[in-house]
Amino acid sequence: MKKLINSPETVVKEALEGMAAMHPELIRVDLENQIIVRADAPVRGKVGVVSGGGSGHEPMHGGFVGRGMLDAACPGAIFTSPVPDQILAAMRAVNGGAGVFQIIKNYTGDVLNFEMAAELAQAEGIEVASVITNDDVAVEDSLYTAGRRGVGVTVLLEKIVGGLAESGASLEQVAALAKRVNEQGRSMGMALTSCTVPAKGTPTFDLGEDEMEIGIGIHGEPGRRRVKLAPAADIVEMLANPIIEDLGLKAGERVLAFVNGMGGTPLIELYIVARELARILKGRNITIARSLVGSYITSLEMAGCSITLLRVDDEMLRYWDAPVLTPALRWGI
Burial class (CB in 10 A: 0-12, 13-18, 19+), 147: middle
23 is catalytic: no
Give SS3 for 282. Answer: helix
Q: CA-to-CA distance for 56 and 8, rounded, in angstroms?
A: 12
Q: Whose CA is closest to 219, among 82, 80, 79, 110?
A: 79
- 225-228 vs 287-294, strand pairing mode: unpaired
61 is catalytic: no
Question: CA 53: distance to chain centroid?
Answer: 9
* Residues in CB range of 213: below 8 A, 6 or more apart: 190, 191, 205, 207, 222, 223, 225, 226, 304
Give the number of other CB atoms < 10 A from CB of residue 279: 13
Which of the following is catalytic: 28, 57, 92, 180? 57
Which of the following is catalytic: 207, 219, 247, 326? 219
The dihedral of CA 286, 290, 294, 297: what is its sign?
negative
Residues that are catalytic: 57, 219
